[in-house]
Structure 1
Amino acid sequence: MPKHVLNNTDNNVEFIGNFRPPERSTREKIKLLLYNRETGAVLGRTGTSWAKIGLFYLIFYGILAGLFIVCLWVFYQTLDPRIPSCKLSSSLIGTSPGLGFRPSPPMDNVESTLIWYKGTDPEQYQYWTKNLEKFLEVYRKPGLTPGRGQNIYNCDYDKPPNENQVCDVIVKNWDPCTQENNFNYHKSAPCIFIKLNKIYDWRPEFYNDTNNLPEKMPRDLKAHIGMLKTERPSWLNTIWVSCEGESPADVENIGPITYIPTRGFPGYFYPYKNSEGYLSPVMAIHFQRPRTGILINIECKAWARNIIHDRQERVGIVHFELMIDFLAANWLCAVHLHILCRAPPVFAASEEMSKDVGNIKDGGVVYQENEPAKPVTCKDFLYDPDRGSVLGRTGAEWIRIVAFYLSFYIVLAIFFALYFWLFMKTISYDGPKYYLDDSVIGTSPGLGFRPLSEVHEGSSLIWYNTSSETSHKNWTMSLDKFLEGYKNRTVGSNIVGCDYGNKPGYGEVCAVDVDTWKPCTSANTFDYLNSSPCVFIKLNKILKWEPDYFRNANDLPNEMPEDLKNHIKKKEKEDPKFLDTVWVSCEGENPADKEFIGAVEYIPFQGFPGYFYPFLGVENYVSPLVAVHFKNITRNVLVNVECRAWAHNIEHSRRDRIGLVHFELLID
């Protein structure tokens, strides 16, 4: 409660008393909370108070965010990007994998397991076929999965993959469960795809002994295992799969079933090590004649000694329903609950009263009330005519603060310009400061190839159809664009014609005449129309790097291809100066790829001529090229190709992509 003071300066009389503040209505209290004209407070705080509390919380939450970032960084240091910290029995997933099925129902009915359509209505079964096409896209196009094309291997029970290799899953030949055949949905005999969930380092314990099969295993599966034991014993290392109707009526209505390509998941896919490019094995379940107009409950199980079956936990089994020949699907309804919580506002008002000062003169008492201080309004803040201030500052104050910040930023700009000038003085325009062993690039160049896919960035797959003009045009246009820098470069200025006996002089560069490299020219569509595509190879530039050539045919590495060794020996006899070449070889990565790749022609030479080196950053310099012409590559087969550059000082590393390049070819 405020004090009111009355004093008499002549007689030293002072009266002090407390007075009750005036009563205010609730509305007035609310208005006073929102804005108090007397104190200039907003929501109970003045501008200074808001600034202090705002600064406090800014510092507080800044320190809190910093601590959180540090803790998060420390946490990520404990994680391995490939190997989980907890696995198998110590993890939440456990040691028994679950099964999944595709196609999956629409996202607006995610809990449903019903596949329901009318076989005679394309609009109805197209959803399911498109869902399968999207799911199988990574299996059909190896380039969509990072590292898959490079690590892929054609596995078999007698040819398991090596470390870091992943097995190929060829779904294109699984008739009638193929994209071209609409997965047989239009014939009311649909294909359902089954896959086993991945568990890191899990190793299946196979049922490969017919004398120790579980009682609940279907009889037809037991008979299948017994037949394989006699005919193909190596195939017993398989995670078996069985699909049946759940009830006797479902068993009767489900009809005959075919398992494609085999009746289970081959054992050579396991254990799963999170290798780059790995895809889970899948299989197609073809329901040949399911009864139409009836809902069929189907349950598929995976069989191995260390796979348990639990319907409640959905472990080792998968359930779905199949219904064919109805016009529409009756989907589940989602129930949304909206809860609105309201809390009554809490108000607090603060009041101040001015002091009353009374003067007693000549024995009489005269009460004189001083005027309260004038509150600062928004209008006064913008312009106060009494002080002549704008935005709270007078003209002199504005001049001082503008002069301060102007000087501050001028000095700051001078310091920045000075440091930038000193930094630029350390840079040489003739070449990088660090090169060869002192640089990050090192002394072993990498290889590159063209054309590259403009649709799937990072993909190393060259895939086209010779019967489709737009299909091969994408690749030939990409090559035309790449070779623009090599064309229209007439001999003149500092561009000279070079050969092994005529090397460029100081400040000169060699011409590369790609227009004469038939059939690998734009006029011949780089031979893509004849199913004999040309792929251009180039060696990455490293400043002042000079190749250490194989000048002695008796000193060739063991891993060098035999045909290249014979070529070098032949050149040594014809003219030793041709040995000053960075040789190039292109082969299939695997035995199957070597069989399918066919004859390979190198244009204009089987390597990069030595007169292009060293690269000194001279104007108009372009890297030498080699056109690799695949003359009779096998069609409709994915061929993995690996090209290598050969010199004493070129290392080969698939992991670091040094000295070699990998790509895939698929011609339909």
Structure 2
Amino acid sequence: MSTSPQDQDQNQEPNPEKEEQKKEEVKEEVKEEVKAEEKAEEKEDKPEEKQEEKTTEETKEKTQEKGTKNEEKKEKNDEAWGDFIYNPRTGEFLGRTASSWGLILLFYLVFYGFLAGMFSLTMWVMLQTLDENVPRHQDRVSNPGLVIRPHAAEITFNRSDPSDYSQYIQQLHNLLQQYNDSIQERNDLCLVGEYTEQDKEEVKKVCQFKRSRLRQCSGLPDTSFGFTEGHPCIIIKMNRVIGLKPHGDPYINCTAKRDSPLQMQYFPSEGRLDKMFFPYYGKKAHPDYVQPLVAVKLLLTKDDFNVEQTVECKLEGTDLRNNDERDKFLGRVTFRVKVSE
């Protein structure tokens, strides 16, 4: 049978229901493709997450392993220290057994005992060669120096102000306490002008030097030692030297460094240092010994007041040196005095 063109046109007319079905099918296919792509993407992302999870787990495991290792190390160190102090398995204390400690202590005991014995022996031998009264080697010079009291290189005061010179007076009184007549009367009367040699005597006698021998500078008739009048007393003494026996007739001579001479008085007369006070046998053999003194009273006039006076005192009349420029106190002493009204 043949169909007419009209029938063909009718068959070719669009069916709206079928078109809608086709659209829905296309939409579903697109959705399925989208879902498939999302699933593929998710599958691609999951391995990275898994890798990250794996790395975190590995780091956690490593930190845990490190922690356990550190704890094990600490435990091992504690055990090692404990074993070092005392090891119960071997019985060692500080790395040594009791027998080892005993041997080493015995060695050091013998060693140091031997050293102590050698030291004691050498000290004993050396002490046998020494004299307890006289030093074997004397560093000091054989020539004595001179010192003054009041102990000051420059004596400055106002004679009308007692507080200005009270310190000087006190120094002189303190020096002369041991020279009081009541104390010196216990000592021996020695021969004037003769050495008092006592080498063979165990107990050395002491020659008398009474304070009253200084007369106006003794502090007895004038307790101010002339400072009130402006005529101060200066006491000079010679340093002690063991075994010293000065030759000749030693005395003290003072001079003022100025054009005109300065009037002075000496006590004892002429400033003599008698030989009976020599030799000196040392502090231990001669504990009560007192060296002789010489007092010089400076008779200053009104013209001398408010002017600084330089005075030099020397040890004269003997073989002892008094002009050594390297030591200005060897056999001499220099001081300055300034008195104001």
Alignment TM-score, normalising by the size of structure 1: 0.35
Question: In the TM superposition, what is the alpha-carbon distance from 1:452 to its structure 2 partner?
Answer: 1.6
Query: Contact 1:635–1:667 (CA<8 Å) still a contact in 2?
Result: yes
Structure 1 unpaired stretches of 5+: 1-21, 41-373, 454-459, 550-580
Question: In the TM superposition, what is the alpha-carbon distance from 1:383 to its structure 2 partner?
Answer: 4.2
Question: In the TM superposition, what is the alpha-carbon distance from 1:645 to its structure 2 partner?
Answer: 0.4
Gap change, CA 1:623 and 1:400, over 3 Å in 2:
same
Give the AA of the match of 1:497.
L
Q: Partners of 2:275 and 2:244 in 1: how far apart?
A: 11
Q: Partners of 1:393 and 1:481 in 2: how far apart?
A: 68
Matches within 5 A, 1:374-389: 375-377=79-81, 379-389=82-92
- Residue in structure 1 matched with residue 33 of structure 2 by the alignment: none
Query: Contact 2:214–2:294 (CA<8 Å) still a contact in 1?
Result: no
Q: Partners of 1:480 and 1:622 in 2: how far apart?
A: 15
Give 3-state SS (helix, strand or coil) of 2:167's partner: helix
Q: Partners of 1:513 and 1:449 in 2: how far apart?
A: 18
Q: Partners of 1:584 and 1:644 in 2: how far apart?
A: 6
From 514, 529, 534, the equivalent of 2:211 is: 514
Gap change, CA 1:483 and 1:403, over 3 Å in 2:
farther
Query: Contact 1:602–1:628 (CA<8 Å) still a contact in 2?
Result: yes
Gap change, CA 1:382 and 1:600, over 3 Å in 2:
farther
Give 3-state SS (helix, strand or coil) of 1:585's partner: strand
Q: Partners of 1:503 and 1:642 in 2: how far apart?
A: 28
Q: Partners of 1:24 and 1:667 in 2: how far apart?
A: 95
Higher helix fraction (1 or 2): 2
Give the AA of the match of 2:234.
V
Question: In the TM superposition, what is the alpha-carbon distance from 1:499 to its structure 2 partner?
Answer: 5.3
- Residue in structure 2 matched with residue 567 of structure 1 by the alignment: none
- Residue in structure 2 matched with residue 426 of structure 1 by the alignment: 129
Q: Partners of 2:218 and 2:97 in 1: how far apart?
A: 77
Give the AA of the match of 1:609.
D
Q: Partners of 1:530 and 1:381 in 2: how far apart?
A: 88
Question: In the TM superposition, what is the alpha-carbon distance from 1:468 to its structure 2 partner?
Answer: 4.1
Query: Contact 2:194–2:275 (CA<8 Å) still a contact in 1?
Result: no
Give 3-state SS (helix, strand or coil) of 2:184's partner: coil
Give 3-state SS (helix, strand or coil) of 2:235's partner: strand
Q: Partners of 1:522 and 1:623 in 2: how far apart?
A: 18
From 385, 405, 417, the equivalent of 2:108 is: 405
Question: In the TM superposition, what is the alpha-carbon distance from 1:39 to its structure 2 partner?
Answer: 8.1
2:278 counterpart of 1:613: yes
- Residue in structure 2 matched with residue 500 of structure 1 by the alignment: 192
- Residue in structure 2 matched with residue 289 of structure 1 by the alignment: none
Q: Partners of 2:241 and 2:266 in 1: how far apart?
A: 24
Q: Partners of 2:76 and 2:156 in 1: how far apart?
A: 77
Larger Rg: 2
Give the AA of the match of 2:305.
R
Query: Contact 2:305–2:338 (CA<8 Å) still a contact in 1?
Result: yes
Give 3-state SS (helix, strand or coil) of 2:110's partner: helix
Note the alpha carbon deviations across 1:250-308, whole angstroms, 9 max, x for none: xxxxxxxxxxxxxxxxxxxxxxxxxxxxxxxxxxxxxxxxxxxxxxxxxxxxxxxxxxx
Q: Partners of 1:393 and 1:522 in 2: how far apart?
A: 79
Give 3-state SS (helix, strand or coil) of 2:230's partner: coil
- Residue in structure 2 matched with residue 630 of structure 1 by the alignment: 298
Q: Partners of 2:308 and 2:166 in 1: how far apart?
A: 20
Higher strand fraction (1 or 2): 1
Q: Partners of 1:481 and 1:626 in 2: how far apart?
A: 16
RMSD: 3.3
Query: Contact 1:600–1:631 (CA<8 Å) still a contact in 2?
Result: yes
From 219, 227, 230, the equivalent of 1:531 is: 230
Note the alpha carbon deviations across 1:443-488, whole angstroms, 9 max, x for none: 43221222225xxxxxx22233434444322222222333333335
Question: In the TM superposition, what is the alpha-carbon distance from 1:649 to its structure 2 partner?
Answer: 1.0
Give 3-state SS (helix, strand or coil) of 2:251's partner: strand
Gap change, CA 1:444 and 1:622, over 3 Å in 2:
same
Question: In the TM superposition, what is the alpha-carbon distance from 1:535 to its structure 2 partner?
Answer: 1.4
Q: Partners of 1:654 and 1:416 in 2: how far apart?
A: 44
Query: Contact 2:144–2:241 (CA<8 Å) still a contact in 1?
Result: yes
Query: Contact 1:599–1:630 (CA<8 Å) still a contact in 2?
Result: yes
Note the alpha carbon deviations across 1:409-465, whole angstroms, 9 max, x for none: 21111111111111111112342335xxxx543443221222225xxxxxx222334
- Residue in structure 2 matched with residue 446 of structure 1 by the alignment: 145
- Residue in structure 1 matched with residue 154 of structure 2 by the alignment: 461
Query: Contact 1:37–1:376 (CA<8 Å) still a contact in 2?
Result: no
Question: In the TM superposition, what is the alpha-carbon distance from 1:659 to its structure 2 partner?
Answer: 1.4
Matches within 5 A, 1:559-598: 581-588=249-256, 590-591=257-258, 598=262
- Residue in structure 1 matched with residue 99 of structure 2 by the alignment: 396
Note the alpha carbon deviations across 1:619-650, whole angstroms, 9 max, x for none: 23221110111122633333222110013412
